[in-house]
Amino acid sequence: MGLPWGCSHPSLTGHARGLLTSLVTLHLLFLGSAQLRVEGPGQPVTATVGQDVVLPCHLSPRKDARSLEVRWIRDSISETVHHYRNGEDLYGEQMGAYAGRTELSRDGLSAGSLDLRITGLRPSDDGQYFCTVKNADAYNEATVTLEVSATGADPHLSLGGYEAGGVRVLCRSASWYPLPQLLWRDAHGQHLPSVSQTHSQDQEGLFEIKGAIIVTGSMEGPLSCVVRNNHLQQERESSLHISAPFFHNAQPWKVALALVLVLLAVSIGLGVYLFRKQAAQSRELGESLQSLGKWCLCGRAWSGWSLGACVLVARGCWRSSWSLGWEWGVLPWARDTAGMAERNGDQGGDGERAVGLPHSTLTLPRQGHPPPIPIHFHLHFGSTVQRAAQVSVLTAPRAQVLLKAGSCSLLVWSLPV
């Protein structure tokens, strides 16, 4: 009787032989890997930005590794950080970010050390690394975790203005890695909530964090901003004390109301002042006109000429006005009665008002130029008497300025007949 797996079952015999071959191969690989056992540190390696770090890795048991191929690989991107084979370093496959920054100790290789030295740490160096070793018959690897950290500058505190019935306080700190934690504390160490918090990263990979809080008048003592690196268990702290007067102005509507009241008071005061000034000028001008009506003395004859009228022009005191001309300045409203005659018009001129004291109906010569006529005028302003003696008024139709009062100019025009 033959075996059940004899010639009558050729497929079973082939399957058994394949299984046996696989088991032998796995056993040989196990023996080879046992000969190239690699061990890492068993815990993360911590270092700070800018420093040098050594990633530990070694053969176990320790033996000469100079004849082996050693390759350090980044876990996240599976690219070569450092490559060693046949007694020399190979840089053809090395990542550009690590160029000139990695080194395997040749003295350490002879003792089974596979340590990798990285200089000038950067935030981008943070992460997992594989330390791999192989020869013609075996392969093994170990994982090394590198934690890169950076402690930033002391927080900078500043006031951001009034908001929501309180004062907005800002906190800012830069050059941290990884992203830190920002906290607010009161004088008793109690945590306070932030109203906003943002962060950004510079070209080197370092973080800047910003936070804000609204402080009201109910808070006592100093306010502290704390920025903490949880990896290194390090923190930076700055404090600020806000005095009570800041909170008195925390209501914007109060500030606006006070400003409106001040502007209103100034406007009222200015309006009263301008009104009184204008009234005084009008009163002064009226007195001057009345006084001039009494003191404007015109002789009836002078060197063969008789004076027909004296005319006062007040310039700059009225908006509606009319101008005096040689032919029509006085004649249109001259009367035979003595006294003062007034008229306002809307023709030409720049704020002029004419007051005339006609002596008789005048007939102005249209040809010839009479000689200058010396005339005496007395101008009375309140209790002050001003005298303009021997004012020569040319026959050309122009006025002579006798006196200025405020913004008004008093002029006298003499018309010969």
The per-residue pLDDT for range 252-271, each reduced to its tens digit, is 666 676 778 888 888 898 88
Of 268 and 11, more confident: 268
Q: Is the pLDDT of residue 321 over 60?
A: no
Residues 6+ apart with CB under 8 A from 314: 285, 289, 352, 353, 355, 408, 409, 410, 411
Q: Looking at residues 124-145, what average pLDDT do you find?
A: 94
Q: Is the pLDDT of residue 232 over 60?
A: yes
User: Do 55 and 144 meet the contact criterion of CB atoms below 8 Å apart?
Assistant: yes
The C-alpha angle with vertex 73 and arms to 70 and 74, in degrees rounded to 5, equals 160
Mean pLDDT is lowest, of 14-23, 59-68, 133-142, 205-214, for 14-23
* Mean predicted lDDT score pLDDT of the chain: 69
Structure confidence at residue 406 (pLDDT)? 42
Q: Is the pLDDT of residue 183 over 90?
A: yes
Mean pLDDT is lowest, of 67-71, 143-147, 185-189, 395-399, for 395-399
User: Do 359 and 335 meet the contact criterion of CB atoms below 8 Å apart?
Assistant: no
Q: Looking at residues 386-408, what average pLDDT do you find?
A: 38
Q: Which residue has the tokens 């390696």?
A: 45
User: What is the band of 146 on the pLDDT scale with cuts at 50, 70, 90?
Assistant: very high
Mean pLDDT is lowest, of 28-32, 188-192, 274-278, for 28-32
Q: Are strands 139-149 and 45-48 parallel, antiparallel or unpaired?
A: parallel
Residue 220, classed as helix, strand or coil, is coil
Structure confidence at residue 247 (pLDDT)? 53
Predicted structure pTM score: 0.51
In the chain, the percentage of residues whose pLDDT exceeds 70 is: 55
Residues 6+ apart with CB under 8 A from 386: 378, 379, 380, 402, 403
Of 414 and 212, more confident: 212
Mean pLDDT is lowest, of 138-147, 238-247, 320-329, 386-395, for 320-329
Q: Is the pLDDT of residue 148 over 90?
A: yes
From residue 279, how far is each of 100, 287, 319, 351 by CA, in Å? 92, 12, 16, 17
**Fold of the domain spanning 156-248:** Immunoglobulin-like (2.60.40)
**Fold of the domain spanning 34-149:** Immunoglobulin-like (2.60.40)
Ordered by start, the domain boundaries in the chain are: 34-149, 156-248, 287-416
